[in-house]
Amino acid sequence: MILFFASLFSFLFCQQELIDGVVATVGDKTILFSEVLSETRMLAEQKNISPQNSPLMFQKLFDRILKDKIYLKVVLIEAEKDTLFSVTYDEINTNLNNRIDIFINQVGSEENLEKAFGMPIGDIKNNYWETVREELLIEKFKFSLLSDLSVTKNEVLTFYEEYKDSIPAFNDKASFSLVQKKIEVSLKSENNIKKKLEAIKDSLNNNFYTFSSAAKKYSQDPSVSLNEGIMETTRGDLVKEYEKTAYSLLENDIGGPIKTKYGYHLIKLLNKKGEKIKSQHILLSLYPSEKDSLNAISFVDSIKTKTMNDPGLLDSIAVSLKANDNISGNYENIEIENFPLSVKSFLKKEKNYSFSPLLYEDGSFYFLYKYSYLESEERTPKNNYIFLENLALNRKIGVFFENWVQDKIEKTYVKINNSF
> Are 191 and 242 members of one domain?
yes
Tell me what the mean pLDDT of segment 163-168 comes to.
92
Tell me what the mean pLDDT of segment 97-116 comes to.
84
Q: What is the pLDDT of residue 118?
A: 84
CB 255 within 8 Å of CB 249: yes
Q: What is the pLDDT of residue 115?
A: 82
In 3-state terms the chain splits into helix, strand, coil percentages (rounded to 5) of 55, 20, 30
3-class DSSP state of 255: strand
Q: Does residue 266 fall inside a structural domain? A: yes
Task: Report CA torsion sign: 74, 77, 81, 83.
Answer: positive
Q: What is the pLDDT of residue 6?
A: 47
Bridge partners of 147, per DSSP, are none
> Are 178 and 244 members of one domain?
no
> Are 40 and 113 members of one domain?
yes
Weakest mean pLDDT among 2-11, 217-226, 247-256, 324-333: 2-11
> Are 319 and 179 members of one domain?
yes
- Give tens-digit pLDDT for 282-298: 999 988 888 899 999 99
CB 355 within 8 Å of CB 178: no
> Are 254 and 357 members of one domain?
no
CB 30 within 8 Å of CB 24: yes
> Are 180 and 191 members of one domain?
no
In angstroms, the Cα distances linking 100 to 8, 117, 124, 141 are 10, 13, 9, 24
DSSP label at residue 147: T
Q: In terms of DSSP H, where are the helices of 51-186?
A: 55-81, 89-107, 110-117, 121-146, 153-163
> Are 257 and 294 members of one domain?
no
How many folded domains does the chain comprise?
3
> Are 197 and 53 members of one domain?
no
Q: Which of 214, 249, 284 marks a domain boundary? A: 284
Tell me what the mean pLDDT of segment 292-320 comes to.
94
CB 276 within 8 Å of CB 293: no
Q: Does residue 15 fall inside a structural domain? A: yes
Q: Does residue 156 fall inside a structural domain? A: no
Q: Which amino acid is at 132?
A: V
> Are 260 and 337 members of one domain?
no
Tell me what the mean pLDDT of segment 350-358 comes to.
95
Alpha-carbon distance 289 to 193, whole Å? 12
Nearest CA to 402 among 163, 145, 132? 145
Weakest mean pLDDT among 12-26, 53-67, 399-413: 12-26
Please spell the DSSP secondary structure of 21-49, one letter per residue. Answer: -EEEEETTEEEEHHHHHHHHHHHHHHTT-
CB 405 within 8 Å of CB 198: no
> Are 143 and 239 members of one domain?
no
404: left (phi over 0), alpha (psi -120 to 50) or beta: alpha
417: left (phi over 0), alpha (psi -120 to 50) or beta: beta
Q: What is the pLDDT of residue 324?
A: 80
List the domain range (segments joined by +) for residue 345: 173-185+289-374
- Give tens-digit pLDDT for 66-88: 999 999 999 999 999 988 889 99
Q: Does residue 12 fall inside a structural domain? A: yes
> Are 95 and 199 members of one domain?
no
Alpha-carbon distance 32 to 66, whole Å? 10
Domain containing residue 320: CATH number: 3.10.50.40
Domain containing residue 74: CATH number: 1.10.4030.10
Please spell the DSSP secondary structure of 64-96, one letter per residue. Answer: HHHHHHHHHHHHHHHHHH-TT----HHHHHHHH
pLDDT exceeds cutoff 90 at 8:
no
Count, residues in the chain: 420
> Are 296 and 266 members of one domain?
no
